[in-house]
Structure 1
Amino acid sequence: MNRFEIGTLGLAACGAAALVATQANAEAHDDLETELATVEMSAADIVQARRVTYFLTTQAVGQIKGGIEEGGDLRRTRFAAQLLVRWAETLPSMFPEGTDIEGSRALPTVWSDREGFEAAAAAYRDAAQGVMDAAETGDREATNTAFLTMAGTCQACHDTYRQ
């Protein structure tokens, strides 16, 4: 396996690009079946990718919150909410067996209660979709309500599955 080093910023850029490319590809090929490839990554690389992506999600959450509080056009927060939807869809796959290593903040319940963890990710996805839908309408109150609901799904998951 060829290895190369990239810094956290480079990894963050790769993660964001991958999420955007995945969405663009999915939209362009909704009618085609997607062939999945297997990629080998070390547990440490997977944990680092999770951490960087969680950092990106905090930025997206901040963008949404700022959009609600600052009074601008809420439809501009759609991308940030869409990123959260895509992350929530991907999230369970970023916690394969063997990635409960030093540096990971995941609790053992991620693996011992896998069904619950996947349900929590689905609830997060649905709530993030609700933010995206509400923001698209421009209704600030509805967007804030959806945002608070989404924040509740984040907290519930972290309470059960994160240190």
Structure 2
Amino acid sequence: MKIKKLICFINIFLFCILLSTANTFAVEGAKGIIKERMDKFKESKQLMKKINVGLQNDNFKVIEESAQMLLLWSKEMPKFFPKGSDISPSEASSDIWLNPEGFNEAIKNFELASLDLINQSNTNDRDKTINAFRNLAGTCKGCHQKFRN
């Protein structure tokens, strides 16, 4: 069981590293709402890393606080995607504006997964909290696959 949890942590850590590498190169040269959006996603990535460390240390308070910040981000995220903000260096796909229902659904999934992580972290149940974090990370990955170039 410990090996399974270790593999889970390693996978989540590698996912976060992958996100950070891609964003580092893209932020250079960004301006206006695109830069603001990229900065918000960098903050989001840092919060995911913080949650991962919280899981390793059973620090449910840090997990809950970080998930609260992600929940707030989910609610303000749509305003960071005005029409025409898919120009370089943005990695936003034009599918965001071609399929707004799908994009809004992806954001809603992120919101619900953030809320679930908050709720699970309040139980202090490690396994349930890990599963909620996996689900949250999955919403990020799913959205990036559909709506990120």
Mark yes or no: TM-score above 0.5: yes
Q: Say whether residues 1:47 and 2:34 are aligned partners.
A: yes
Q: Give the % identical residues.
A: 31
Unaligned residue ranges in structure 1 (runs of 5+): 1-42
Question: Which runs of structure 1 show a deviation greater than 3 angstroms over 4 or more consecutive aligned residues?
Answer: none
Secondary structure, counterpart of 1:117 in structure 2: helix
TM-score (norm 1): 0.70
2: CA distance between counterparts of 1:124 and 1:162? 15
RMSD of aligned alpha carbons: 1.3
2: CA distance between counterparts of 1:83 and 1:161? 22
The Cα of 1:139 is off from its aligned counterpart by 1.1
Cα offsets for 1:53-78 (capped at 9, x unmatched): 1110111001111111123x312321
1: CA distance between counterparts of 2:106 and 2:31? 24
Cα offsets for 1:9-63 (capped at 9, x unmatched): xxxxxxxxxxxxxxxxxxxxxxxxxxxxxxxxxx931000011111101110011
CA contact (8 A) 2:50 2:62 kept: no
CA contact (8 A) 1:77 1:135 kept: yes
| Number of residue pairs aligned between Structure 1 and Structure 2 | 120
1:160 maps to amino acid: K
Q: Say whether residues 1:116 and 2:97 are aligned partners.
A: no
Unaligned residue ranges in structure 2 (runs of 5+): 1-29
Secondary structure, counterpart of 1:102 in structure 2: coil
Tell me which residue corresponds to 1:22.
Answer: none
Write the mapping of 1:5-154 to structure 2, written as runs, cut at 5 A.
Answer: 44-71=31-58, 73-154=59-140
The Cα of 1:83 is off from its aligned counterpart by 0.8
2: CA distance between counterparts of 1:52 and 1:139? 32
TM-score (norm 2): 0.77
Tell me which protein shows more helix as a share of its residues. Answer: 2
CA contact (8 A) 1:44 1:99 kept: no
